[in-house]
Structure 1
Amino acid sequence: MIDVLVAGGGPAGLAAAVHARLAGLTAVVVEPRTAPVDKACGEGVMPGGVASLRALGVEPAGRELRGIRYVDGVRRAEAPFRDRPGLGVRRTTLHRALHERALGLGVRIVPGKVGEVRQTRDSVTAAGITARWLIAADGLHSPVRRRLGLELPGGPRGRYGLRRHYRLAPWTDFVEVHWSGQGEAYVTPVADGLVGVAVLSRVRRGYDEHLDGFPAL
């Protein structure tokens, strides 16, 4: 029997597995996708997140961020980070760095999905593996959490996320959050010659249509 079974091999699941190994526990991650996994993401890590990654021995390549700026037409407000910089980093770069760190520490990553979960007083069995603890790191709308009856009333509402990268020099070292009547656009420098623009909205439409709602961009 292992100590920790992690359902989901995204950044949260891999970080949990690395934490377990650094604490001297055995850990197995169950994940159906091949690393690195990409998805629509703002790609900005706050200073506390950068410090947490460093404590795990993970320092992915990216671009330092000095703060966050909110933009709504001609109105804007910004807040520089006080003590330490944040980090703009491609999600694939972050995932790859966590994946390599987990493997280097002896975390076993197996292909598959956690379906049925069976529990006893001192163990849990899922995906054919028995462990002392199970961590459900399988996303915002976690199927594992739902099957175990742990959903909170009025759980998270869904939004559509779309993202593109543009090969141009960043014009700022802040994350910029632009607002429109339909959603937000997150602009994050992720390398010296690369800027990510992620759009989040409850309205389902194409990326270019969403971008039309942000004239400054």
Structure 2
Amino acid sequence: MIDILVAGGGPAGLAAAIRAATAGLEAVVVEPRPLPVDKACGEGIMPSGVAALRALGVTPAGSTLRGIRYVEGPRRAEAVFRGGPGLGVRRTALHAALHRRATELGVRVVTGRAGEVRQDDDSVTTAGLTARWLVAADGLHSPLRRSLGLERPRTSPRRYGLRRHYRIAPWTDFVEVHWSREGEAYVTPVGEELVGVAVLSRHRRSHEQHLTAFPALARTLRGLEAGPVRGAGPLRRTVSAPGAGRVLLAGDAAG
């Protein structure tokens, strides 16, 4: 019998499978899409996240981040990370690095989608596979979280995220958080000639419309788009419990 079955082959699911494999357990990941997958993501990893990746044996290429800077018009406030540098990295690069490490450790990734979950005192079955434990890492809109009755109603305002890359040399080694009454724009260096801009807001507008709330940033980035816009939301999720029986929620599925 499989020790750990992971539903969802994103960064959280692969990290769980890698951790299981390094503990000497058999881990199998079920994922319907070919890897790596590009999704809306801020793409900035805090120092603690960099350390966690290193502990898993994962060292993706990216841009060193020295700290965070908050910008609102002419006003700025910034702080340097105390626990070492962070890392700005394309989500696809992070995903590919995690997949390589999982493969090195013998983690099997099978094409499929976790659906109905059946479990008893000793095992759990989904997607035609039976394991001792199931990690539900099937994302922000987790069907497994809903089917297990673990999703709680949202009470806070809904927020949505949009991310786009721009072909420009980063002008700082800080993550810049630009503030306005309309929302925030997170600018993250992710390469020598590439920055990612993730916008968070309660308003459902296009990426270009959101950038009008940050005139100086919009002028800097105008005409330098490098790829499509990716979106996600509503972003906030809460759960009534971290798991049910032999199923544990992880990553975005865990709220």
- TM-score normalised by the chain length of structure 1: 0.95
| 1:102-127 per-position Cα deviation (integer Å, ceiling 9, x unaligned) | 11111111111111000100110000
What RMSD in Å do the two structures reach over aligned CA positions?
1.4
State the shift of 1:64 in Å: 0.4
Supply the AA of the counterpart residue of 1:19.
R
| 1:58-112 per-position Cα deviation (integer Å, ceiling 9, x unaligned) | 0000010000111122222211101310000000000000011111111111111
Are residues 187 and 154 of structure 1, via their aligned partners in 2, closer, same or farther at CA, if it must alter by over 3 Å?
same
**Matching of residue 48 in structure 1 with residue 55 in structure 2:** no
Supply the AA of the counterpart residue of 1:104.
E
Contact 1:140 1:156 in 2 (8 A): no
2:147 corresponds to which residue? 147
Larger CA deviation: 78-87 vs 160-169: 160-169
2:68 corresponds to which residue? 68
2:90 corresponds to which residue? 90
1:166 corresponds to which residue? 166
3-state SS of paired residue (1:216): helix
Supply the AA of the counterpart residue of 1:40.
A
1:216 corresponds to which residue? 216
2:124 corresponds to which residue? 124
| 1:22-69 per-position Cα deviation (integer Å, ceiling 9, x unaligned) | 000001111111111001111000000000001111000001000011
Contact 2:124 2:130 in 1 (8 A): yes
2:232 corresponds to which residue? none
Write the distance in 2 (CA, Å) between the matches of 1:166 and 1:172.
14
State the shift of 1:158 in Å: 4.7
Write the distance in 1 (CA, Å) between the matches of 2:2 and 2:81.
40
1:197 corresponds to which residue? 197
- TM-score normalised by the chain length of structure 2: 0.82
Of all paired residues, the percent bearing the same amino acid is 75
Are residues 202 and 11 of structure 1, via their aligned partners in 2, closer, same or farther at CA, if it must alter by over 3 Å?
same
Supply the AA of the counterpart residue of 1:99.
H
Write the distance in 2 (CA, Å) between the matches of 1:205 and 1:153.
24
3-state SS of paired residue (1:41): coil
Contact 2:48 2:83 in 1 (8 A): no
Contact 2:11 2:98 in 1 (8 A): yes
Structure 1 segments, 4+ long, off by >6 Å, are: none
> Which runs of no fewer than 5 residues in structure 2 stay unpaired?
218-255
Contact 2:67 2:173 in 1 (8 A): yes
Write the distance in 1 (CA, Å) between the matches of 2:166 and 2:153.
40
Supply the AA of the counterpart residue of 1:60.
P
> Which runs of no fewer than 5 residues in structure 1 stay unpaired?
none
Instruction: Number of aligned residue pairs: give it.
Output: 217
